Every structure is written in C-alpha cells, then in structure tokens.
Amino acid sequence: ELNRHTDASQNGTNGVNGVNGVTPRGRLAGKNAVITGGAGGIGLETTILFLREGASVLMCDISEPALKRAIAIAKKAAPHMTGKVETIKCDVSKESDVQAAVEHLDAWGGLDVMFNNAGIMHSDDADAIDTPEKIWDLTQNINVKGVWYGSKHAVLALRRHNKKVASIINTASMVALVGSATPQLAYTASKGAVLAMTRELAIVHAREGYRFNALCPAPLNTPLLQDWLGDDQEKRHRREVHFPMGRFGEAIEQAQAVLWLASDESSFVNGTDFVVDGGLTKAYVTPE
Ligand code: NAD
C-alpha cells in the first residue's frame, strides 16, 4: 500500500503530445498548462520550469509586448523542452478571454494544469478611507473574478476531456493570512477571497480528481512589488525587517513550489494554503 509512487505518476497524463515526435519527459511530462500573468515574475519563472519538466505551456497575459519578451526568454531558458510554448493575450477579468485561453488547449489534448496567477496591486490601493471605489472594483475583478473564471473553465475543460487527475493552483498572498499595517485593503481582501474560494473548490471537486491549492507568497523581488517600492528605502525597510532570512523571496522560489503542486508528486495535497515565505508568517521577532 505504501509503495504507490509509480501509480500516481501514471495516472493523469497522456504523455503523447511532444513536439517533433519527441517523447515528453520530466516531472510534468505530457501535461498541458495554462499560466495567467505568464509574462510577469512568478508566471515566467513557472513557465520555464514547466517547459524544462516536459509540459506544454500557454502563457496568458494582458500585455502583448510583455508576452513577446517573455516567450523569447522562456525558449532560451528551456532549449531542450519536449512540449510546446505559445502565448495568448488574455485579460483574466473578461470571461470570454479566459474561456478562449483554456479552449486553446483542446487542440493539444486538453488542459491538465491551470495556474491562476495574474494579479495586480494598484498604487492607489490604500486603507478603508482612501481606497477609491474604482480601484477596489478593478482589483476584485482581476484578482478574484479572474481566479473564478480560470477555475470554472478549467473544470469545464477537464470534464470535457474526461481527465481523472488535474491540478489547479491559485495565487493568493501572505496577506490573506496575516494583517498588514501598511494598507492595501482592496488587494488584501482580494487575496483572502482567493484563499477561501480555492479551499471550497478543493473540496467540491476532490472526488473528480481535481486538486486545488492556493499559493501564498511573501513579498518578492518581482516588478509587482519592486516597482511599487521604487527607491523608497523606508518603505522597503518596513518590509524587509520582518523576514527571518533577511531578504525578499525570489520568483523562482515560488515557481519551484508551483511545479511541485502541479506535478503528480503532490497527488495527496489538496486545499492547502501553501505558504512560501521564508518563515515570515511564523516569526515573532526576527534575528538581528
Ligand atoms: P508581476 O507584476 O511580475 O506579474 C503579474 C503579471 O500579470 C504581469 O505580467 C501583468 O501584465 C499580468 N496581468 C495584470 N493584469 C492582468 C489581467 N487583467 N489579465 C491577465 N494578466 C494580467 O507580479 P508577480 O509577482 O509575478 O505576481 C504574480 C501573482 O503573485 C499575483 O497574483 C500577485 O498578487 C501575487 N503575489 C506577488 C507578490 C510579490 O511580492 N510580487 C507577493 C504575494 C503575491
């Protein structure tokens, strides 16, 4: 009963859709993945790891120039990929865009992995008094509705292709778990919603074999945060001091976690708040 690791890896994927007749190999061999926010920090690093591990990836992003840059980087970083990589312009707050992205994979044999990762933290996001309503709505539309649409169309595609195993990973944040005195209320509320939504989806779809997990990153060296912090040293220090390891995380460190959650190696991991934060949310005071 304990020696079941070979079963898990044979369960879910067809393993027949490599490019140029090359047999897919790697931890995601033959799996087809959609990655939203694919041109950004976490999305691009994840694309590269997925490609290196035998997946085919559709990179989705609202920014076409960013996609163009990102796919070039991904191809260069994964020269031995056995799957394929393509891009599609997709605003995750528009259901028709998300549907089109997911259905693009029908021709590849159907989706196996959905990484609902696109998200924004707007510079006008503030506290309860000062957050403009339009920023509130914009943030919820992208960060929450986008994850809902991605999850919905993933489930529809999985059923359409009669998949027995699938992994959906939704990017939440550490601020879904702990309160921040540097306010970004719309963002925090949106990530709390992602966490709760993911948990319920995990339970509802568990018997279909579709796993849902939420990724909770701590602040990272990606444009999303670093552009916002700029060269404001005080703002930067206000955050850095809380890291037990004394540094922000890197996007690649999130991508490694996503790779594991996407693979059959995590076949019994479902409904988790998967925290990748260098210990930040477990710290009382940090080392000097
Ligand atoms: P990033 O800004 O580098 O990447 C985000 C990407 O999403 C960008 O390429 C952007 O063009 C795209 N995007 C924005 N709006 C979109 C939309 N409506 N539809 C499709 N794509 C859209 O940021 P990142 O750090 O890689 O962020 C990825 C996820 O991680 C986000 O959900 C973010 O909230 C979360 N996160 C980031 C941090 C951090 O410190 N960077 C911490 C916790 C959680």
Category of 131 on φ-ψ map: left (φ > 0), alpha (ψ -120 to 50) or beta? beta
For residues 80-107, average pLDDT: 98
100 pLDDT tier (thresholds 50, 70, 90): very high
CA angle 68, 215, 193 (to 5 degrees): 100
204 pLDDT tier (thresholds 50, 70, 90): very high
Distance, in Å, from the CA atom of 247 to the CA atom of 241, rounded to the nearest integer, reads: 8
Cα atoms in the 13 Å half-sphere on the side-chain side of 285: 2
Ligand 1 pocket residue status of 90, Cβ below 6 Å: yes
**Residues of the chain with pLDDT > 90: what percent?**
82
Q: What is the pLDDT of residues 26-56, one digit of tens each?
A: 999 999 999 999 999 999 999 999 999 999 9
Tokens of residue 90, six digits: 């997709």
Q: Mean pLDDT across the chain, nearest whole number? A: 92
Q: What is the pLDDT of residues 144-171, one digit of tens each?
A: 999 999 999 999 999 999 999 999 999 9
How far does residue 3's CA lie from ligand 1's centre (Å)? Answer: 39
- What is the pTM assigned to this prediction? 0.93
Query: Distance between the two ends of the chain, CA-based, in angstroms?
Result: 47
According to the model, what pLDDT value does residue 288 have? 82
Ligand 1 pocket residue status of 225, Cβ below 6 Å: yes
Ligand 1 pocket residue status of 141, Cβ below 6 Å: no
Backbone angles phi, psi at 157, to 5 degrees: -70, -40
